[in-house]
Structure formats: C-alpha cells, structure tokens
Structure 1
Amino acid sequence: MTRQLTELVAERTDAARDTAPRLMADVVSAALRTPVEMRATGDTDVSLPDPVRESLTQLCAGLPVVGVAPASQPSPLSTPTTRRVARRFPTPSMRGKNEDPMSTFHPDLKRGRFIPNVSYGRLSSRLVRSVKWRATDPGPDVTVQEIVVPGPKGAPSVSLRVFQPTGLKTAAPALLWVHGGGLIFGAPEQDDRTNIAFARELGITVAAVRYRLGPDHPAPAAVEDAYAALRGLVERASDLRIDIERIAIGGASAGGGIAAALALLAHDRAEIRPAFQLLLYSMLDDRTTTRTDLDTLKVRVWTPKSNRYGWSSYLGDAVAGPHVSPYSAAARREDLTGLPPAWIGVGTLDLFHDEDVEYARRLSDSGVLCDLDVVPGAFHGFDLVFPKAEVSREFWRRQARALKGAL
C-alpha cells in the first residue's frame, strides 16, 4: 500500500496546487482499493513513510480554505455585491430528482462535476488524520497564539489557536470557530486563512478549538470540548481583550453541527450566552443516514456513505435511533426557542441541504432570527475547493457581513 501511495504522490507532487483536492481524493481512493494487498501482506497500518507524509502535508497546507481572497484583492467587505441573503424555507427539497447532475452545478462551479465521489471509512479516515496541517503565517496585521484551557471534567485540557488584530488594546468581539471533518478528522490549522481573514477584516478575536474526534472519542466529547473552549474564553476574557457579551460561535460541516449543539448546551446550562451562530453547510441530523433518496451522482466531497461512517463513529450503535441527544445532533432538539440569532449557509447540491433548510425554518418558527443563504448549484465545501470563484467570494462576504452586523 505504501508503495502505491508513494508512486501516486510522486506522480502528482509537481501538479498545480489547484489540483490538490483531486490528489487527496486519489490518495484516499488508493487506500480504499488496496484491502486485498494489505490482508495478503499483513500490513493493516496506514501510517505513511516520511517522504509521502511530507508531500501530503505540503499539499494539504496548499489547499485553499473557505472564502479567502488573495492578498492583492481589496477588502471583501468593501466589495459591492448585488446578492442578497435569502430567507427561504422550502420543503421538502429544492433538488429535482430527475435533473441531469451535469447541468445543475453553479456556472462558477462546473468543474466540480469532475470531483470523484470518494467515500471515507476506517482506513481512509486514518490516512487523512495522519496528515499534519501546516500553520499559516498570519502576516503583520494579525497575531496568533496557542492557548490551553481546562477541559471537561475528567478529560484532557483543550487547546485553541487564537487570532487577533495586531495592537488590539480594548475588549472586542470574538468568534469561537469549530473546524469540520465529519467528526472523524480535521484540525484548527485547516481554517487558518479563514480565521486570519475574519480577525483582520472584522477586528475581532477568532479562537479555533482543537476538539477530540471519533471514533476514539465518541459523543459527547466534541461538544463538551467546545463548551470548555467557550468557558475558557470567558474566563480569560480580560487578558485576551474579549467582550464576553459579544462572543459568536460558528463552524463548517461537522464543526457547524458541533457549534449548533454548543448553542443548545450553553442555553441549557445558562452560564454563558453566545451572541450569534454562524453555521456553514452543517452536519445537524444523524437521521439523514437512513435516507435512500439522496442522489449520489450530484453530491460531492461528502457522500451518504461518508456521512454514515462519520455519524456512526461519533454515536456508535445509537445513530438514527430514538435516544440520540440534541447535544450530539442538534436537529434532534424539539424546542429551539431562546437560541442565539443564526446565519445558515448551504448549497443545493450539498448532502446537508435539506436538514440545514429545515433547521433554519424551525429556528425561524421558534422566534429565533435566522438568515438562510441557499447557494444554487453549490456542493459541500465548494468554497474550499474553488475559493477564487466569485460565488465562493460572495459566500464569504455574506458571512463576514452577518458577523459584523451581529457583533
């Protein structure tokens, strides 16, 4: 297996960096294609030789991250836009079951139809976890530090990557950010560029939590780590110059699901009240794993099979059953009254589209101010895969405006 991966990386290392997502997909595909060879050789360890690991690390570090404009571009908040945030709550689905998937992609995202539908399982997720994300230099306008706060009772301490505008002297708003990764992989460093951009453009503190992952750490480990991080920010508000009345929580994909669950947990414990929820194509409902109507020809990046593995890694045998806690899957909550205002963004070709639209509708029906931003023809993580596309830039600008308005 390692020989195949070495050859694969060597073949692709010199390719342009905008092909890095396809490289990672090919690497994972190679891992999935080799179980027979692994059983024959007795090699069931997906650890990689140093040259392969280094190549993958460099390529992952070069992956574009959500909505980051090149340094030469003007401030995204100063760029005019005619796109309005949509407040729509259509049901049951905005996706036509009989549509040709080749014709449903957003014009800026047409190349997305060539992204292979790679699904993650035990071996491939371990392979992805073995890649260490390289931190991004924030430049002179933003500082970064790693802090450690007490963890949940009986659990290890929790670390956060904290980004702040250089020279911050007075208390400012903050965003607690939760990275994605299907509850099974990922790290705060993968969103460094986005978090740097938020800190620089909005003048806020952004703290990205490093939480425990499944299946080694099942529910409720992730949300409890996020709560410990939120509590730690409040306890250290003075030395971090954070206005505790203006702390937002947010995340993408699994991170968005954890952030939504954190809003519920914080509401119920009544110790800390977040000011806002920023939820990007969020993993909210484990019951989606039971759906058989999802068109796998149209969804990209995160497939139904990956979704089943991610949820089962976190919830175990309880997945899709009657006893799943809302602190693990926020859509399980029946009463959503009293939660912080929210912004929810998702594409029509995203596996999480329907559950996100439904959650936004339920928040609104419960009296919670919620802006729903549906991007036609966009797939899961589209802004990460094609960050230079205008639809991706606009998506980030609307996130930034929502945060600015809320904080």
Structure 2
Amino acid sequence: MMTPSPSRLFGIMTTQSEGFPPFLSRDFYRKLCLIGSRAGMTVFVFTPQGIRWSEGTVRGYSFDAAARRWVSQDYAMPDVVYDRCFFVNRNQHEAYREVMRTLRTLPSPLLLGYGLKGKWEVQQMLEQDGRFGSHLPRTEVMRSVQSAAEWLKARSEVLLKPQAGSQGCGVVLVRRAAGRRAQARKHAAAVEITANAGAAFTVIGRDARNGRVARSFADTASLLRWLRRFTAQRSYLLQQYLPLHGRSGEAYDVRSLVQKDGTGQWQVTGMAVRKGQIGSLTSNLHGGGTVEPVKAYLTAQFGNARSDQILSEMKKLSKQIPEALEQSHGRLAELGIDFGVDTSGHIWLLEVNSKPGRAIFSYLHDKKARFNALANPIRYARYLMRHHRNRESGGETKLSVKSAPLPGESPDPDSPNADPT
C-alpha cells in the first residue's frame, strides 16, 4: 500500500548496495530523515532501481525514530530529489544518466541540484571567468599516453588525474630523472623513492583501488607501456605538479564546504585542512590522511597575518566559484571545493565536487558545522518547494533576510536536541 502523499516529500536518491536498507551511508541518511521530520517533511531514501515509472511511485526507505529502525514502503514521486548516487563503472553510470534524463522531463520532482560533470568540464567553465585564471593549475586532456611523453619533454614532472576519480584514487606523479639517478621526492618529504641507477622516470601515487604505487622505468617506452595499462578504460588529465606541502613535508589541502541555505543563498558551512601522511602524494582521508583546524594549521605554516589573508581569499573564492559554475551549469545545491596553498602562500583550485562528504567536521568535533552540513540540504529543499509553489500560483516569493531555524530545531547547534545521533 502506498503512503498517502504529504505536502512535502524529500527523496534522497543513492546507489543500490547489498543488505537492508540497500544502500551505504546509512547514518548520514538517518540523520537527514530525522532533521527533515522536524521540518515537516517526509524524508526517504531510494535507489534508481526502486522507481516505478508507469505507476509514478518509488520504493523508499525511511527511518522510524520511535522504533529506531528503517522501514520500507511505496511513496509518490517526491517533490524534491537530492542526488547522492556514486558509481564505479561505466554501465552503472550510463543507467544513472538515463534515470536523470527521465527525471528532468517530468514536472515533478525538482532536483535539488544538477551534478557536475568531470574535472575537465569544471576547469573549462571556470577558465571562462577571468577571476580564477591565476588559481587554476595548467591542465590538459590526456589524448593518449604520448601526450604525457610530450609533456615530460618540456617539463620534468606531470600529475595524472582521472577525470571522474575521487579520494585520490588513480592519481600518480610521473617525474623525469635529472641524470642517471632518479629520485621521486614526495612533496619534498623526508621519504624518497630512489630508483635503480640508470632509471629515467619514477612514478608514485595510488592506483584505482587506493593501493600505493612506486615504480621506476629505464626508458620512455617502458614508461608508456605501463601507463597504457594503468590508464586503460579511463579518461585522464595531465596537470601541472604543485609543491603543496607543509613544513614537515606532508601533503595537505583545504576542503571548503559551501551550501545553499534556507534563502537560496550560498554560505561557507565550514573549512578544514586534510593532511596526508609524510610520503603520500595526496591528503585524502581514505588514503590515511588526518584533519586539522584550518586556522591553526595555516598559522603554523605562514604566521598569523598571512594565514588571515589566505583564509579571507579562500572564503571569497568559495562564494564566487559556485556562482560562476551555476552561470554555465545550472542549479547547484552544495559543493566541496579543494584548495591547495603552495609554499609561497598562493592559492590553487584543485577540485570541485558537487556530491561532497562531511566527515571532516566529525573529525574536528565541530558541532555547528556538522549540523549545518546536514540541515542545509533540507533548508534549501524547503526554500525550493515554497518558491516553486508560489511561482505556480502566480504569487511572489518572499525571502527572509536570515535563514530561520527548522521547526523543532534549536538555533543553538550545541544543544543536545540539535544533532540527532
């Protein structure tokens, strides 16, 4: 039996997996269900396989707070869909794209935001805006492994990044040796990979399964043979290698989570440093990285005054980047923006992700940022629903100056009632 359609249905679409309920990140979705309930919404999670197009229904899963368990039932098509789908192969991605194309043709549901495409498309959109040129590393599409060879003829090193990769998987640094003895200094860290005498190239990084890579090659031909196997079936970018490391030699970046609030405006929810292990090419948490408070870490690197300048510039860019992307791409709801800071203090834009994680705030025990990171998609969905209804009725959409608390939400995120864990 289908649940009667309430005034506000918020559907979270995610990737199907084994078990019950049939998806990962259950704790994250449980919290969204509880926060949405306080806002007068019915929040449920569904997978593309659960959509019944002919009936206009969805098999969804909601968390029953009273019984403290997940329950499944059929729902009407939601008013708003929050896309949290992640796929690991091309077939899954093609099936997902077909679902998204169909959803876009329907009058309902509204999509909370449209997912960004690959890294190259994001790079091109930002290059069209003159404000970001000095913050974008030189980047090219790798048409073939010969492109990497040509790059290495002109420069001593190149970073290879998968277009659709995440969490540092599949990222490698290829370095041409200076002389017969090849040393791949991992972000100038104390740990080195010293190649055999006579090696011409070294490669360090992580493979597609997040395993460590450390190789050396005697000549260009052997390097290119390995690169063909390593990059097979995936689109790659060639990117300028940047010295993004701290005083102790550890790789690090700054993650900025920006989200639309209950008035449809972009806000910086929080920022944190992700610090890699010494000897690691990347700083991703899945690769063994840790999280540090951004102000304290940057102050240790650059001093108080300079760190304030860097933070101010990052916050400014964090507001400008989503606005610029929306001009070309269409509606977005949230972004994870990764910044690098080189040893001179210059800010580089490394990556923009339209389906960001929130783990950094849990590591820092930042209750305010943690709660807002969860609540903002609900707040923005409520804004979209209200705006859409007013537009359909021909009325004006009146926006409040401030984002009001959700019904039942304590404005104080430190309150025990503010974080439903």
Which structure ranks higher in relative contact order (CA pairs < 8 Å, sequence separation ≥ 6)?
1
Identify the structure with the greater strand proportion. 2
TM-score (norm 2): 0.28
TM-score (norm 1): 0.29
